[in-house]
Structure 1
Amino acid sequence: MQKGGHVYITTNKTHSVLYIGVTSNLINRIWEHKNKVHPKSFTSKYNCDILVYYNFYPLIEEAISIEKSLKDRSRKYKIDLINGLNPEWRDLYNDLTSE
């Protein structure tokens, strides 16, 4: 049985870099970004540890497909997507961990 997955976007403090990822365990994955568990990764190098967008999909295959399509979209499209959910660009990780 396949479980679902989240597509998520992280950024850095200045919002100059956006990272799009997919995971079946969002809280754990963002914790890894924040703690630089993979020090040579893109997110560690560019300090992308602020979760500004996420969406759940019931099938992991669907989440992977959406992630790939988002990566092909323009920066403006991604910013509009974030602004639609999180116009203040708050770190949504805190909301996840307080539930």
Structure 2
Amino acid sequence: MENEQSRGWVYIMADRYRGTMYVGVTADLAKRVFQHRQGTGSDFCVRYGLRNLVWAERGELIEACIAQEKRVKRWRREWKFELVERGNPDWLDLYDSLI
């Protein structure tokens, strides 16, 4: 089994139900989402007010997470909606479940 340091997350931030989305990758999901919520995570999230973590997937290797992030970013919006809604049909903010 790989050590904890090599694991990662692919995640989606959103402003509202089926609204603007940001797909990202990180090794520390709670820290990264906190940064987005504080306005220091990414210019895109700041510009569009993306504060809600609506989907996240843990990966065993950060390299695999980076590849998955690139794939999801190329997906059509509807496919991303379906991905979120499989586990979070109401687009609830999942941040509190992390901490």
Above 0.5 in TM-score? yes
| Unpaired segments ≥5 residues, structure 2 | none
The structural deviation recorded for 1:16 is 2.0
* Residue in 1 that maps onto 2:19: 16
CA–CA separation in structure 2 for the residues paired with 1:23 and 1:14: 23
Q: Which runs of 4+ in 1 moved over 3 A?
A: none
**TM-score normalized with structure 2 length:** 0.91
Are positions 1:65 and 2:67 aligned together? yes
Identity of aligned residues (%): 34
The structural deviation recorded for 1:13 is 3.2
AA aligned opposite 1:72: R
Partner of 1:51, secondary structure, is: strand
* Residue in 2 that maps onto 1:74: 76
| Unpaired segments ≥5 residues, structure 1 | none
- Aligned CA RMSD, in angstroms, stands at 1.5
* Residue in 2 that maps onto 1:48: 50
Could you say which structure has the higher helix fraction? 2
CA–CA separation in structure 2 for the residues paired with 1:50 and 1:9: 8
Pairs aligned (count) = 96
User: After superposition, what is the alpha-carbon deviation per residue over 1:35-80, rounded to whole angstroms, capped at 9, x for unaligned?
Assistant: 1025x70000101110000000010000000000001110000000
**TM-score normalized with structure 1 length:** 0.91
CA–CA separation in structure 2 for the residues paired with 1:31 and 1:48: 12
The structural deviation recorded for 1:3 is 1.1
CA–CA separation in structure 2 for the residues paired with 1:23 and 1:82: 18
Are positions 1:3 and 2:9 aligned together? no
